[in-house]
Amino acid sequence: MKKKYLSGVFLLAATMMFPSLLFAAASEVSAAPVRQGRTAPEHNGHAGHGDHSGKPVTWTRFPTLKTRMSGENRESMLVVPQNIVADSINAWSSNLNDEHARRSLPMEMSGARLDKPANGGFQMLTARQEQAGQVQVASTVYYFGERGAKNPTAMFMQQKNELEIIPQPFPREHSRYRANEDWKFLVRFNGKPVPGQKVSLETQNGSNALLLSDRQGVITLHVPDDFKPVEEGAAGQDHGMRRGAEFVLATEHAEAGKTYQTGFNSSYGPDAFDQRSLAMGLGFTLLGMLGAVPLLRQRKAGKKVMADSAAEASTSKSGEV
């Protein structure tokens, strides 16, 4: 009877395989919280961070922004322009009512210091270089973890430069871009959508693509699944680290004797339904089922006691009659 009961439990777990896929995605997102900067994977082992002098990075020629911790202080970050020379970084806050909702961050030797605002939330960061009739802009988003952060949509739609690539929307709070997902971006010039605009995609893992905006100036990015499989026992596997890589979207536009180039960069992770996530989700499901066995046994024993008591009461009543 015991073997039959446990077999039923495992059969129930198998039938719940599909729901466990959803659980797997959620479990990986929340498994090992990391700093919520969207501009760079924390442990990808790639060199070439660059500095405010515009030192080139190895995987792209487009202007980008890199964020990294300032010492041990998790509430202070350094913002470093790459492939672009800038005297300052402009920062916009998703909390539009903040007196520091828009501010200029001066460039220091190691980069521009971005301190956490009182209300945390999303920060849109841009750097600008203009010379010889060419304007280059790098932009990214950084998220300071904070419950109840303001919706960043209104902040994104504020015009910050002539040529812009705007997330529509940006992954909220503890989420991020992932391989095999589709995300939309708006391309606009002087506040107006630009239809038929070519946008280049480059990733740190070596993928390249050319996208075209639709009539509303919107492109759809299918995040490439270009992560190499992790070999069993490979150095750096697990240990609470989340795999990630960077990508950049870039476009150019010429008008009134000037050439404008803008880049939006962020980071992305592997497909939420990769083999590791599926195994983790199924494992948790089976553990949940096994954990429920004692409770089911207790419930069954309780029902038996109640049935026995009822039978005794019925016998006793018959004897009285």
In the chain, where the domains are located: 35-274
Buried b (16+ CB within 10 A) or exposed e, 74-106: eeebbbbbbbbbbebbbbbbbbeebeeeebebe
Average pLDDT, integer, range 269-273: 91
- What global pTM score does this model have? 0.70
Residue type, 159: Q
Q: Tell me the pLDDT of the chain averaged across its residues.
A: 78
What is the predicted pLDDT for the residue at 287?
65
Max distance between CA atoms of the chain, in angstroms, equals 110
**Range in 3-12, 194-203, 209-218, 222-231 with the lowest mean pLDDT:** 3-12
What is the CB-side half-sphere exposure of residue 90 using CA atoms within 13 A? 13
* Chain centroid, CA 111 distance in Å: 24
Instruction: For 99-151, write each residue's pLDDT tens digit.
Output: 878 999 999 988 999 998 877 789 999 999 999 999 999 999 999 876 667 78
18: part of which helix (H) or strand (E)? helix 17-31
Instruction: For 223-269, write each residue's pLDDT tens digit.
Output: 999 999 876 555 555 444 579 999 999 999 999 999 999 999 999 99
**What are 276's two structure tokens?**
């590791």
73: part of which helix (H) or strand (E)? strand 73-82
